[in-house]
Chain A
Amino acid sequence: MKKLLSIIIALAAVCGLLAFGANQLQSSAGSTGKKVLNLYTWGDYIDPNLLTKFQKQTGYHVNVETFDSNEAMFTKIKQGGTSYDLTVPSDYMIEKMKKANLLLPLDKKRLTGMANYDPRFMDLDFDKDNRYSVPYFWGTLGIIYNDKFVKPGSINHWNDLWQSKYRDKIMLIDSARDVMGFSLASMNKSMNTTDPATLLAARNKLNQLAPNVKAVVADEIKMYMIQNEAAIAVDWSGEASEMLDGNDHLHYVVPSEGSNLWFDNLVIPKTAKHFDAIYAFLNFMSEPKNAAQNAEYIGYATPNKKAKALLPKAIRTDRQFYPDDQTIRHLQIYKDLSPAKVGLYNDRYLEFKMHH
């Protein structure tokens, strides 16, 4: 009995020490106290040097917490609990959060850098007049190919993927909206269609693609493409830019007949508490110099017009990541569909995955 008691006491002491240590570490990192900003964002989606600079300039310490899907972020914000001050949902998710009353409108009087943004990326359907959101990054969905296996310039359109010579060579991103979406785009249909017959046709077309599909995977695509594991992949431009950094043989194409155009915008969820810090951060990130530094670090396309002008010419004029107006005109932004319609996309997509 005595032995048991001493074991229990020892365990309690260890737990107490660990808790104390963790607490000390956390407070030395400055997460307690008032001058903080809780940023809830995608993994590796901001240049850490900027966070240091922001703290030096304004005194606010930024706590970064990350999510890996819009849906996961939505669920966490909806549950409340953690006081996130800013988060970075994509276009359709902004619409959805708006409908669910999870967003606070921006106080335009406190924003100083809104004029820096490209008007093409403002006042869009998912957030008219930018009442709730400040653009952060934008990008596209496209095709990455390795010129070791594919002749440069021979893939320009979605339909090129269906050629039988690419048997077992293509990797797809595991995302219902995007895979169904490019099948729809290849048939010149809207990527937001909710017509069951059209979606069925899109699935049938995907089934024909199945022999060419090597795998349907997620983040691992980056690693595989860099290691020459597959010849072709369908993925987002942000992921593509990281792949291109890792392997000189890779190229990124946005099919000119149409593809997805996506936005990640900064919004204030209703869990926000530190409003001075929020507006300081939004204005800090709108400054062309900072936005340019961030864009160079992350590799995504910046919606900040003045920041873009500050980027090195090689990046600024790269048609892969800053497509020409002609292509941009054909790009489509995902709309927030009702749960039943999203279910329709998912069911067809699941059927395609079962097929191959």
Chain B
Amino acid sequence: MQRKQRLSRQTAYFIPYVLWIGLFVIAPVILLVYQSFFDINGHFTLGNYQTYFSSNTYLMMTLNSVWYAFLITLATLVISYPTAYVLNATKHPQLWLLLIIMPTWINLLLKAYAFIGIFSQAGIANQFLQFIGLAPQQILFTKFSFIFVAAYIQIPFMVLPIYNSISELNPSYVNASKDLGATSWQTFSKVIFPLTLPGVKAGVQAVFIPSLSLFMLTRLIGGNKVITLGTAIEEHFLTTMNWGMGSTIGVILIIAMVIIMSLTGGSKRRTKRGLTK
């Protein structure tokens, strides 16, 4: 009797979760897939997928998106890993971590506008260049500025998981490696890096996937000189009102993300055991 009651109570606790997932995750994805099989006149078709895979524009755009997402992730990783490493060695890592997380409390649009001010012709960046004797450069609307700002925005999401896995690393492994005669580089490449790889993978997922479909920054900072799939989706939903095509691109993005998740998330279970402090 009691067991049954407990069971039903458990089911009751489960309801909000199931409702949430059902209404806001599963249902929208099903709708998206469903929508992607309709053309602009509301007829059932596979044509959207056919258009996607036979159009140079979309294929180029896909390559572009992946390439820029890769560059953004790489830039973020190169900055974040040493940062997380140094953070772990400081006296008050939580305080420093808080400082790194703080920018995420500010609205993305505000941050983008701040960078417009910094990078513009009369902005601080150009004032500095003039100060050190260089001619003012066009910084805004370049690929560089786009990657820079995107990386700036994504860095906290990369630092956090890496920091967590570094702080969980048992220092005796590092000591053992050194005692056994490994150089610093060997210790890093054979011990520290492999053991913190789960954090890196989690960080890469957290950065790469949103970067694939960035669209506001491509216009505000990139001046539409960088075109990603996000741009195309926005246009299909808001201007062309070709929801079928927009959904098709959305579905393809989801599939791409699933592939990336499965590529980067494979060996989580194995590394979790026994390696913590």
Contact = CB atoms under 8 A, between A and B. Distances in A.
Contacts of A353: 224, 227, 231
Contacts of A175: 239
Interface stretch (A54-62, A131-139, A214-222): A214-222
A101 interface: no
Contact of A339 (B57, B120, B231, B242): B242
The contact size tier of chain B is: 20 to 34
Contact of A216 (B138, B219, B242, B245): B219
A215 B238 contact: no
Interface in B205-238: 219-220, 223-225, 227, 231-232, 235-236, 238
A249 to B, nearest CB: 14
A343 B236 CA distance: 9
Interface string A336-356: 000110110011001101101
Contacts of B120: 224, 227, 229
A168 B138 contact: yes
Contacts of A71: 238-239, 241
A72 interface: yes
A176 B122 contact: no
Nearest to A354: B227
Contacts of B138: 168, 214
Nearest to A175: B239
Most chain-B Cβ atoms within 10 A of its Cβ — which of A71, A171, A228, A346?
Answer: A346
Contacts of A356: 225
B259 interface: no
B241 A339 contact: yes
A69 interface: yes
B90 interface: no
A240 B120 CA distance: 20
Nearest to A68: B238
A229 B219 CA distance: 16
Contact of B240 (A217, A227, A346): A346
A339 B227 CA distance: 23
Contacts of A224: 120
Given A217-B220, A217-B224, 17 more contacts: A168-B138, A214-B223, A215-B224, A217-B219, A223-B116, A339-B40, A339-B240, A339-B242, A340-B40, A342-B241, A343-B245, A346-B240, A350-B227, A350-B231, A350-B235, A354-B57, A354-B64
Interface of A: 69, 71-72, 168, 171, 174-176, 214-218, 220, 223-224, 227-229, 339-340, 342-343, 346-347, 350-351, 353-354, 356
15 contacts: A176-B235, A214-B138, A215-B141, A215-B223, A216-B224, A217-B219, A227-B120, A228-B121, A229-B140, A342-B241, A343-B40, A343-B245, A350-B57, A353-B231, A354-B60
Interface of B: 40-41, 57, 60-61, 64, 116, 120-122, 138, 140-141, 219-220, 223-225, 227, 231-232, 235-236, 238-242, 245
